[in-house]
Structures are given as structure tokens and as C-alpha cells.
Amino acid sequence: MANKKKPTGLGKGIEALFQDNTVDTSKEDVVDIKVSEIKPNPYQPRHRFDQKALEDLALSIKNSGVFQPIIVRQPDPAVNSYELLTGERRLRASKIAQQKMIPAIIRDVNEEQMMEIAVLENLQREDLTTLEEAEAYNMLMTRLDLTQAQVASRLGKSRPYIANYLRILGLPSEVKEMLEDNKLSMGQARTLLSVNNKQELIKLAKKSVAESMTVRQLEQAAAKINGKNGAKKKRVQRKSPFVRASEGQLQEKFGTPVSITNPSRKKGKGKIEIAYASTEDLNRILEMLDVNLD
């Protein structure tokens, strides 16, 4: 059962998470609700929590209580059951501290807003790993049926920024584990995606971790691997500054390696090759090209 307290101005900052800003927080109350009645947010993008930090927070809560209320929603007002919107760490720490009650704001939001809040709160706090962030963008696209451009617009990011993170999901599982463990950076992951051979990619990722390679060193190693694999296929063609600049612009737009060649050496003729790392990556590129294969 929820026990009402005095009105609060808390939650003002969280309003930035709503696109239409239709929620009136001025009339919200802070209430005490049972910890046992709160279910975790099913759309929480963060998978890992620092156990030592949680234990420290639990000790603070045990001694002084929870200063900032969590935010929940109540799907059915007639039932004392709540779903967490924000405040995962405070809720987890309260459970560790064996607290029976926790201060909360009950907010009327729909499923779509619930998902956006879960993602945006963690993005604003910079709590997500590179892989968690990529999975969060993918979740928004698949669950809400959004395009990359729509996700970028809602989150205040550029489309190439979202595209680059989504490409990370095409990495082999072994490499994604290294990324999740913070053994590889986003820059290193993007560089590894340029390696065409999967086994060579995994091998280079392990070498990068073992030798603490910089992104520049990784780029040189990746280029060497791709050079060896493609040496027997074709002779390297000298490219003009204009072609190299055009390749760079296309790579920035699509977030993947792009090659422009002129095999016939006739003025105005040639071809553009766009690399992709997975089926999902291919669909991402086709979407950017506005190609519908249905």
C-alpha cells in the first residue's frame, strides 16, 4: 500500500525524456511503497552493476534512507503492483539493505515511454557499455518499429552515430564479450569490423587485447590482413585525391568501409563497393539507401 507524502518538485529533469512533454509533474506526490511490490524494468539496457558500489549505497540507505525517490508506473491502479521506470541502483541497494519500503513517484506512462525512459536515463548518466548502448538502440528500433533516423532524432544523436553502434552487433560473440568486459574500445571495435575474414578478425581482437594495441596500430594490422587476403584477387589501383575523399565521405555516411574503383579506366565509369558485417548491417545500409526488397 502506498503512503502519501508532501508534493515534490523532483522529477523535473526527467521530463526531458518525454517527446511531447505531456506529463504534469507539479501535481505528483512522493509515496512509500513496498520494495516487494516493484518489478524491474524489462527494458533496462544495463546488464552489469558494480557490486561493491551497490553494497556501499546499501550501507548509506540503511543509515540515512533513500534521498531521491525512484519512479515507477502502476499498470493497474486497483492492484498494488508497480513497474520500475528509473532508480535501478537505488532499488537493488534497498533490497541488499533489507528495506521494506522505498520512496517513489508513481507516473502514468505507456509502454513506449517506459522503454524510452530506460534507455535515455542510462545514456544521460553514461552508465552503459558500448555493447549495451548498441543493444539499446536496436531494441528501440525493433520494439517500436523505428528507423535509424527516428531513433537518432528522438535521442538527439546523429544518424551515423546510431549506425556505427548498430554495426557493433555484427561482431563475433567472442569479440563482443571482450567489448562487454571493456577490454576493447568503441574505436577498436569499429576498426575490427573492417577485417573481412571472421577468424582473422577474432585473432586480431585477441592480439589487440594481449598487446594493448592502439586504434592506429589496429588499423595498420587490419589493413595488412585485408591486403594479404586480397593480394591474389587484384592489383592495387592508385586512386586520385578526389576518389579517396569521396570514399571517406561515404564511409562516414554509412559507417562501414567503402571502396570506389574504376576497373575499365574509362572516364565516368567505375563501381562502388559497400562492405557489411552481418545481415543486420546489410539491412541497415539498405534502409539508408531507401531500398525495399519486399
pLDDT reading at 109 higher than 50: yes
pLDDT reading at 263 higher than 60: no
The domain made up of 3-121 has a fold known as: 3.90.1530
Pairing between β-strand 38-39 and β-strand 82-86 as defined by DSSP bridges: parallel
Of residues 37, 83, 88, 287, which has the active-site annotation? 88
pLDDT reading at 294 higher than 80: no
Q: What is the CA radius of gyration of the chain?
A: 24
Q: Give the DSSP H/E element, type plus range, for residue 164.
A: helix 159-168
Domain residue ranges in the chain? 3-121, 182-233
Q: What percent of the chain has pLDDT over 90?
A: 21
Cβ 121 vs Cβ 14: under 8 Å: yes
pLDDT reading at 3 higher than 90: no
Stretch 147-172: mean pLDDT: 87
Retrieve residue 47's grid coordinates.
546488464
Q: What confidence tier does 170 reach under pLDDT thresholds 50, 70, 90? A: confident
CA distance 88 to 155: 21
CA distance 189 to 166: 12
**Of 209 and 265, the one with more pLDDT:** 209
- Predicted confidence at residue 131, as pLDDT, reads 87
Q: What confidence tier does 24 reach under pLDDT thresholds 50, 70, 90? A: low
Retrieve residue 279's grid coordinates.
545481415
Among 66, 44, 49, CA closest to 117 = 44
Cβ 251 vs Cβ 257: under 8 Å: yes
Give pLDDT tens digits for 126-135.
667 888 888 8
- Predicted confidence at residue 16, as pLDDT, reads 45
pLDDT reading at 198 higher than 90: no
| 3-state DSSP percent of the chain in helix, strand and coil, to 5 | 50, 10, 35
Tell the residue number behind the cell numbers 555484427, with chain if given: 170
**Of 255 and 233, the one with more pLDDT:** 255
pLDDT reading at 237 higher than 70: no
> Is 247 part of the annotated catalytic residue set?
no
Give pLDDT tens digits for 48-63.
787 888 999 999 999 9
**Direct distance between the N- and C-terminal alpha carbons of the chain, in angstroms, rounded to an integer:** 51
